Amino acid sequence: MSQKTALYDKHLYHGGKIVDFAGWDMPINYGSQIEEHHQVRRDAGMFDVSHMTVLDLKGNGVIPFLQYLLANDVARLKQAGKALYSCMLNEKGGVIDDLIVYYMQDDWFRMVVNAATRDKDITWIQQQAEKFNIDINERDDLAMIAVQGPRAREKALQALPIDVSQAAADLDRFFGADSGEWFVGRTGYTGEDGFEIMLPESEAAEFWDALIEAGISPCGLGARDTLRLEAGMNLYGTDMDESTSPLISGLGWTIAWQPAERNFIGREAVEAEKEKGPEQKLVGLVLDDKGVLRGHQKVIVEGVGEGEVTSGTFSPTLKQAIAMARVPAATAEQCKVEIRGKLLSARVIKPVFVRDGQSCIE
């Protein structure tokens, strides 16, 4: 039985092509995925991301709890509204999920986790929370709309209710602010500036229309994927999962090693791996030949070993194939990718291809 967001009728109205995404009926595109991609890079687009799971964690034990639960350290959040990206690890250092947590108040943090991992995340978090004094409340009463692109904030501010708009106007990057039941974070998953807006489901359809009125076009989850890959942002379940640590997933930077006495789940395992030196790394690939990189293609690094593409696509901005790939740690600047029996040449780079509309590759 598939679930529908509060904006489902809007997707149909705008000609959205509906597909199943983690048990949700979601629009993959509204016509052309490439045009929607360019719309976000060049102007402003919006995505219904209401399928994502929002959890409010409240209680006076919430800070010590999150310091134990997450590999990144919420003590880094000094100001209310600030967001932190983190992995949630298992004891072996594998990634249960990646998430964003917002510091709302000293006794209230809001966490956004993936839709596909909702059930296992909630079970895990509840298990770990037993020793802490906190309440966990799933906010399935909220819809979420991501507005992204160089002109997204300016346009969205016109469409937001006046009190929310005032709260959102001066947000720095990676900060959020609430007003009543609305919450606006200056965050995203596209490599462009913009907002992620949470609001009561009952107001979602009307607000969607207001965003259209302000000149923001609907974009599907297809464009969201090509945008995030160009931006070098990992996708859970594809670029990392419970069998891979952050260190071999390009996410070592999200582990807060200091203070050394902070005991977080998975610490021992990732420390041991770091000590030994990780055997693999996550890199970016740019295909010099014509073709399209796709997940699971074999990567061959001469004299070093083999790896695998974790996610690949045709980059609409760069007009060539790009990918993230997990390869042996000793991989240098070149590799081959096997596509339908042929070995094609690819360059190995840091996995950031496009940021703020600009190419990051030579």
Partner 1 sequence: MSEIPNDMYYTRTHEWVRLEDDGTVTVGISDHAQELLGDIVFVELPEVDSEYAAEDACCVVESVKAASDIYMPITGEVVDTNQALVEEPDLINSSPYDDGWIFKIRPADDEDIGQLMDASTYEAEIADE
Q: Which residue in 209, 137, 146, 142 sits closest to 181, CA to CA?
A: 142
314 is an interface residue for partner 1 by CB under 8 A: yes
- Smallest distance, Å, CB 233 to partner 1? 17
34 is an interface residue for partner 1 by CB under 8 A: yes
28 is an interface residue for partner 1 by CB under 8 A: yes
Angle at 98 between CA 94 and CA 102, to 5 degrees: 140
Longest dimension (CA), the chain: 61
- Strand, coil or helix: what is 245? coil
310 is an interface residue for partner 1 by CB under 8 A: no
Q: Which is nearer to partner 1, 81 or 220 (CB)?
A: 220
- CB under 8 A: which stretch of 124-132, 146-154, 181-189, 291-299 binds partner 1? 291-299
294 is an interface residue for partner 1 by CB under 8 A: yes
Does the CA dihedral 338-339-341-344 come out positive or negative? Answer: negative
- CB under 8 A: which stretch of 30-38, 40-48, 172-180, 256-264 binds partner 1? 30-38
Cβ contacts of residue 119 below 8 Å, gap of 6+?
Answer: none
Task: Identify the residue among 171, 292, 300, 349 touching partner 1 (CB under 8 A).
Answer: 292
How far is residue 160 from each of residues 166, 210, 284, measured CA to CA in Å? 9, 8, 37
Task: Identify the residue among 172, 276, 290, 303 touching partner 1 (CB under 8 A).
Answer: 290
Binding mask 213-242 for partner 1 (x = CB under 8 A): ---------x---x----------------
Q: Which is nearer to partner 1, 29 or 39 (CB)?
A: 29
How far is residue 61 from each of residues 53, 57, 108, 129, 133, measured CA to CA in Å? 22, 10, 10, 9, 5
- Smallest distance, Å, CB 205 to partner 1? 27
Q: Report how far residue 311's alpha carbon sits from residue 234's, in angstroms, rounded to the nearest whole number.
A: 9
Q: Report how far residue 48's alpha carbon sits from residue 3's, in angstroms, rounded to the nearest whole number.
A: 14
Binding site for partner 1 (CB under 8 A): 28-29, 32-34, 222, 226, 290-292, 294, 313-314, 316, 321, 340
